[in-house]
Chain A
Amino acid sequence: MIDVVTVAELTAHIRQLFEDEPGLRDVWVEGEVSNFRRAASGHCYFTLKDSAAQIACVLWRSHAERQVMLPENGDAVLVHGAVSVYEASGVYQLYADRVRPLGPGDLHLRFEQLKAKLLAEGLFDAARKRPLPAFPRRIGVVTSADAAAFQDVLNVLRRRYPLGEVILSPCGVQGDAAPAQIAAAIERLNAHDACDVILVCRGGGSLEDLWAFNDERVARAIAASRIPIVSGVGHETDVTITDFAADVRAPTPSAGAELLAPDIADLRLGLAGLRARLSAALAAGLAARANRLERERRALRGASPLRLIERYRQRIDDWNAALATRQQQRLALLRERVNGRQAALAAASPAAILARGYALIAHADTGQRITSAHSPAAQPGAPLVISLHDGQRRARLED
């Protein structure tokens, strides 16, 4: 008896064979894209081929939207997916969930081309770079609200700069729609004048994950921003067009957060320093005034008439002393001289002569001294007083 199956049953069987085969469930295929077509539904259809063969591919909308960029005809790509059967057409095809540009070629090439183009336009010129505000009050952050990077940024700012306010301008940071959203998020912050500085950031990932930050729209939105922009995309080693266009490039989101505001610990130190200098400056000013006052008081004292008077008073004292000394010397001299004369006088005194045996004779009534034998007072019978050295005797002249 012949086993008859329907087409549907046969096809279902074939499909089951494909789906049970491990080597077809999780496969990377390398090839060149052709006949690329995106349907109105958002699903994409293309053919992957090499020089020897070709396979039909489907990229459902849900996967297509997660693609950094959709492939174009002629692109060499790596496609990941599972092979199965489309029963309605009786064809097997590759149900792709990821399409990656192949090798160092495409993405790097586009990166270099865009970089060269914007560089030539002067978009990256050092002269365009704006300084960051020293104390940003409001910090705009352009990233996804759910991103770990956003939490990293908040943690850094809570620890280092709680003085500020963070204004999240949310956007996707990955996939086809992200570049337009990032650009819009930057423009929104500018339009509402919502912050003093902007951090555009995203955590680390593959080149494809970061690709939105290599988009020309993002670069132009950064260049057009009135508000200075810091970029912090990926890890240290990742460099994006966004980094070149930004005013300051930070290696990571956290580093960007550190870079765009001072550390509160430094502010505390700076404040303590200013406080000390404030007190020292006042103290120094007061000390300088006290010094000046003392100097002037001294100068005033030097110029005072009192001082002149004191000087003269002293001089007068000096003179008085000199005068007294001189006087005493003179008195001593005189005293000596008087003593000498007294001695001479004493030697010449009549008493001394009388003591040697001489006598003085005077008329007793008139007191007239009789110094000659022929003195008229020496009449016979005249009363006389004879003075001897130890007393007087009376006598009468006989002849």
Chain B
Amino acid sequence: MEDVQTLSFEAAYAELAAIVERLDAAELTLEESVALFERGRALAARCQSLLDEAALRVGRLEDNGTVTPLG
């Protein structure tokens, strides 16, 4: 499994939604469901911190393909 801390918001959110679906629906062993829950909690925390820390970045695309940050 990918390290939660490197996931984008989109990826973390999508995986969290999938975990909730599985926990809701699937017949799992106790160990599996607890492991899924723990993973889900880490994903939720990742999403939360991404939301809390988000600050829009703005840049300009140059002809050579590089992006110059704009103040």
Contacts and interface: CB of A to CB of B under 8 A. Distances in A.
B30 to A, nearest CB: 7
A168 B61 contact: yes
A271 B55 contact: no
A165 B58 contact: yes
Interface string B4-15: 000011100100
B1 interface: no
Contacts of A271: 13, 16, 44, 47-48, 51
Q: Which range holds the interface residue count of chain B?
A: 20 to 34
A188 to B, nearest CB: 6
Contacts of B37: 278-279, 281-282
A189 B61 contact: yes
Interface in A257-294: 264, 267-268, 270-271, 274-275, 277-279, 281-282, 284-286, 289
Contacts of B51: 163, 264, 267-268, 271
Interface in B2-48: 8-10, 13, 16-17, 19-20, 23-24, 28, 30, 33-34, 37, 40-41, 44, 47-48
Q: How large is the interface on A (under 10, 10 to 19, 20 to 34, 35 or more residues)?
A: 35 or more
A194 interface: yes
Contact of A281 (B23, B47, B48): B23
Contacts of A286: 30
A264 B44 contact: no
A192 B61 CA distance: 9
Interface stretch (A34-42, A132-140, A350-358): A132-140
A124 to B, nearest CB: 27
Nearest to B50: A163
B20 A274 contact: yes
A346 interface: no
Interface in A81-136: 134-135
A268 B23 CA distance: 21
A135 B33 contact: no
Contacts of B61: 140, 167-170, 188-189, 192, 194
Contacts, number: 101
Contacts of A275: 44
Majority DSSP secondary structure for residues of A touching B? helix
A168 B10 contact: no
Interface string B52-65: 00111111110101
Output the residue of A188, A267, A282 with the most chain B CB within 10 A.
Answer: A282
A180 interface: no
Q: Report the 7 A-B pairs with minimum CB-CB distance, sorted nearest first.
A: A281-B23, A135-B10, A192-B65, A162-B54, A165-B57, A162-B56, A282-B37
Interface of B: 8-10, 13, 16-17, 19-20, 23-24, 28, 30, 33-34, 37, 40-41, 44, 47-48, 50-51, 54-61, 63, 65, 67, 70
27 contacts: A135-B13, A137-B10, A140-B61, A145-B60, A157-B56, A158-B56, A161-B56, A163-B51, A163-B54, A164-B57, A165-B56, A166-B56, A166-B58, A167-B61, A170-B60, A191-B65, A194-B61, A264-B51, A267-B13, A268-B51, A271-B48, A277-B20, A278-B41, A279-B37, A281-B23, A285-B28, A289-B30
